[in-house]
Structure 1
Amino acid sequence: MAPYHIRKYQEGDRQRVLDLFSRGMTEHVPATYRHILKLPQTLVLLLGLPLTLFLASGSWLLAVVAGLMLLASLILPARHHWNEYVVSCLHADLADITKTYFSGRGSCFWVAESEGQVVGMVGALPIKEPTMRKKQLQLLHLSVSVERRGQGIARALVRTLLQFARDQSYHEVVLGTCMLQFSAIALYQSMGFQKTHQYFHSMAGRLIALPIFQFTHRLPSAQVSEAS
């Protein structure tokens, strides 16, 4: 197992970080496609359209071809959902990582490096909501390259972020993850994150019934201060 170390992001890491992020999101397309196929409205459509065509034309061939074409076309909303998310991030916080994550004390971006190559990443931004009484830090874009998973890199990146949050006197660390990201959910729960609620990131996500789960990690320092 090649060693790795975690360090702060540098501008020279930009292209590798963006590639890692984009590929990580694209990996969820097959699972999203399978999720769409299991939706009740999809099953009705897959059965109803071929049957309607058969009753109208009397041709089983036409009905089967239409069903297969519909089945193949359902990959499009799965791809669109993740492509839309990638594009929105590339035009938001990832447009200028240095400016977004290093312009103040309360934010940061780390990469895991092994043999001179970035193999993991995670970002941290403060949630700026003036009505909130708790100081919250948001965990963003946790990702590890496929070939380096299972080596504790993701866990080490999250630990680095949690330590940063404690050092910066945050009360909570929050994050959002898709309901289909089972390994990520298991990791967060094993590290003390608890699901607080769920929401839809976009209209596309709502249409395919794919919610985002929000998880919250209350920091020990915050719990002590509330008790005192």
Structure 2
Amino acid sequence: MAPYHIRKYQESDRQWVVGLLSRGMAEHIPATFRQLLKLPRSLLLLLGGPLALLLVTGSWLLALVFSLSLLPALWFLAKKPWMEFVDMTLRTDMSDITKSYLSERGSCFWVAESEEKVVGMVGALPVDDPTLREKRLQLFHLSVDSEHRRKGIAKALVRTVLQFARDQGYSEVVLDTSTIQLSAMTLYQSMGFKKTGQSFFCVWARLVALPTVHFIYRLPSSKVGSL
């Protein structure tokens, strides 16, 4: 028997779900910071700035203080896109999860529960685009608590979305993730999702060279029903 079960979201789950979202996004800050340090413009600032200050003032102390003060600033810059995403999400679709995800037949939000604790989550909303020729569902907020990973929970949550899409008559499932989230990209690709492009979801993401990668999963037409 699996050490978890997947069910629909309930209002009593909100605290767990918001915690999963916040912790999950915060986990990516160190990797973003390391990536930021490797950017040519960051290296130029970290190495060239103190050197220029030293040449102008002749003070090693000022050069050292300047160099050290840059690191917290770069950490803030690495942190900003993730915190911006959390704030945006809590103001929009996750401000009222029941209303956003459970009030319409073609959308849903699920949690994975283990030992009476919510340890994973995922949501799905229809893509509202009249120019699309196919009915498309978008997967949102896949997250699993760090202590419950490598148990197949993330894959089970994605499969839940794919099955829901089949049952509801969707032709495609799309999702977005970031280049920093390597394990997520590996998971999606192993399950048959294909990359379709990338973009930057905010100016902060562009500043730290953190593109969003777009994926699509095309459901076999023979398994697609009607809404």
After TM superposition, the runs of 4+ consecutive aligned structure 1 residues lying more than 2 A away are 221-225
Q: State the partner residue of 1:191.
A: 191
Contact persistence 1:2–1:115 (CA under 8 A): no
Contact persistence 2:32–2:78 (CA under 8 A): yes
In structure 1, distance between residues paired with 2:2 and 2:60:
57
Q: State the partner residue of 1:103.
A: 103
Per-residue CA deviation, residues 20-61 of structure 1 (Å, 9 max, x unaligned), is 111100111101101111111111111111011100111222
Q: State the partner residue of 1:83.
A: 83
Q: State the partner residue of 1:17.
A: 17
Distance 1:3 1:93, change over 3 A: same
In structure 1, distance between residues paired with 2:73 and 2:101:
39
Q: State the partner residue of 1:147.
A: 147
Q: State the partner residue of 1:63.
A: 63
Distance 1:217 1:147, change over 3 A: same
Distance 1:198 1:223, change over 3 A: farther
Contact persistence 2:166–2:223 (CA under 8 A): no
Which letter does structure 1 place at the counterpart of 2:192? G
Report deviation, 1:80: 1.2
Contact persistence 1:172–1:222 (CA under 8 A): no
Contact persistence 2:170–2:224 (CA under 8 A): no
Q: TM-score, normalised by structure 1?
A: 0.95
Which letter does structure 2 place at the counterpart of 1:96? D
Distance 1:167 1:207, change over 3 A: same
Contact persistence 2:36–2:42 (CA under 8 A): yes
Q: State the partner residue of 1:161.
A: 161
Q: State the partner residue of 2:74.
A: 74
Identity of counterpart residues, as a percentage? Answer: 63
Q: Which runs of 5+ in 1 are unaligned?
A: none
Q: Give the aligned length.
A: 225
Query: The residue matched to 2:6 in structure 1 has which SS?
Result: strand
In structure 2, distance between residues paired with 1:130 and 1:222:
23
In structure 2, distance between residues paired with 1:222 and 1:121:
29
